[in-house]
Amino acid sequence: VLKLFKLLHRTRQEVFKNDTKALEAARQKINEEFRNNRDEKSEEKINELLKVASDVEVILRTSVIQAVHTDSDKILLVPRKDLLQDNTPYLDKPTKK
């Protein structure tokens, strides 16, 4: 549980780097969720909560991208290495192997 808690906070720091409002909001939400469930005794429920937390970490790391307003009508996207993936070209007629 503690390992996942720390991982979520490290991911939060990486995903929301230089965005103090988002960093603080994510910190509060992570702490609140863990605090609300700290007295849970059911092993099944604990495993379910750990799975949800793990899924959230993956989504944060692989799907969230920072955007910065640079002008009144322009937004600069700040991609992280985890988000950049090789693109597979689209083929109308796939070839058989």
For residue 49 the two structure tokens come to 């909560």
pLDDT of residue 78: 80
The residues, any chain, with a CB within 8 Å of residue 4's CB and separated by 6 or more, are 50, 53, 54, 57
pLDDT of residue 50: 93
Q: Do 6 and 21 contact (CB within 8 A), yes or no?
A: no
| Tokens 């960093």 -> residue | 23
Which residue ranges of the chain lie beneath pLDDT 50? none
State how far the Cα of 63 lies from the Cα of 22, in Å rounded to an integer. 15
pLDDT of residue 63: 83
pLDDT of residue 48: 94
pLDDT of residue 23: 94
Length of the chain: 97
pLDDT of residue 94: 66
